[in-house]
Amino acid sequence: MMPSTNRILGKSVIVTIIAVVATFGLSFTARLALQMPIDWLSWVECTFIPILIGMPVSAYIFAQSETIQDTCDKLEKSHTALREAHERLTFVTSHDPMTGLLSRGEFMARMDRRRDEGECDTVLLIDPDHFSSINDKHGHFKGDETLVQIAKALVYATRPGDSIGRLGGEEFGILLREARKEQGMTIAENIRRNIEGIPWVRGQQDVVEVTVSIGGAEISRNADTQNVLRIAGRCLFEAKQRGRNRVSFEYEPTRLQDAEERKTRRRFE
């Protein structure tokens, strides 16, 4: 027999025994109170009637109870599986599959939420120096490995409440919670040093040297997040112009204007 069948029969037998005992007690008490004789028919009625009625009724009730419980268990398992699938889907849609960092959309959404909360944060833009040469010299597999190592360094150098995202290609972004410009510059410099100090040597013919340039901007209350990112991008460009492998929270507008003019001339040449 199946375990559920044994449980149903066991419960039904117990209920039937209780019914028989209760029937004897009530029937004999009533007969004695009314001074009615207790004959063999009384014994038969008090024994078989509870068995004939109580046994099938209780078995049916307990069988339905088992069915309902089994259905509830299946629903619970389905709900757990659905919740886990939703969590996996949410993670996949909000995170970069290669590095495990936030996607650009999720990173921007967190910036917007922090702005709406009225907190003063700092955003950093991190870009590897001469990254295309790594792909050209060592191949795209090594380039992907480099991005993963940089992502790990960013996680190591930031605080638990900070948000780290891969904004596209080789560019990364960090949202430093409740950090002013001075603290942001300190964290950015630690990040730059950590990445510069990563042991990339894998052999005599497999040497990868990686540095990053970092641009940062403080996010004031009710600031436009796109504008903040543009300012951080200009600071990143300034860090590149000043020799790379450095941190910049300031930029010179004339350099940006010259860069835009060079791009325009190349477009029409």
What is the per-residue pLDDT across 203-251, written as a single tens digit (0 to 9) for each?
Answer: 445 566 789 999 999 987 778 888 999 999 999 999 999 999 999 999 8
Give the catalytic positions in this structure.
170
Q: How far apart are CA 110 and CA 79, in angstroms?
A: 28
Quickly list DSSP for 94-161.
HB-TTT-PBPHHHHHHHHHHHHHTT--EEEEEEEETTHHHHHHHH-HHHHHHHHHHHHHHHHHHS-TT
Instruction: Please state, in angstroms and as integers, the Cα–Cα distance from residue 109 to each residue in 18, 39, 94, 163, 226, following that order.
Output: 65, 86, 10, 11, 11
Q: How far apart are CA 30 and CA 42, in angstroms?
A: 12
**Contact assessment for residue 238 and residue 255, using Cβ atoms and an 8 Å cutoff:** yes
- pLDDT for res 259: 55
pTM summary value: 0.66
- Give per-residue pLDDT as tens, 143-162: 888 899 999 999 999 999 89
Helix (H) or strand (E) holding 169: none
- Domain 104-268: CATH superfamily is Reverse transcriptase/Diguanylate cyclase domain (3.30.70.270)
CA 262 to chain centroid, in Å, comes to: 44
Q: How far apart are CA 194 and CA 211, in angstroms?
A: 9
Residues 6+ positions from 214 with CB-CB distance below 8 Å = 124, 125, 126, 127, 188, 191, 192, 236, 239, 246, 247, 248
Where along the chain do its domains lie?
3-94, 104-268
Please identify which residue in the block is written with the tokens 């949410």: 90
- pLDDT for res 136: 79
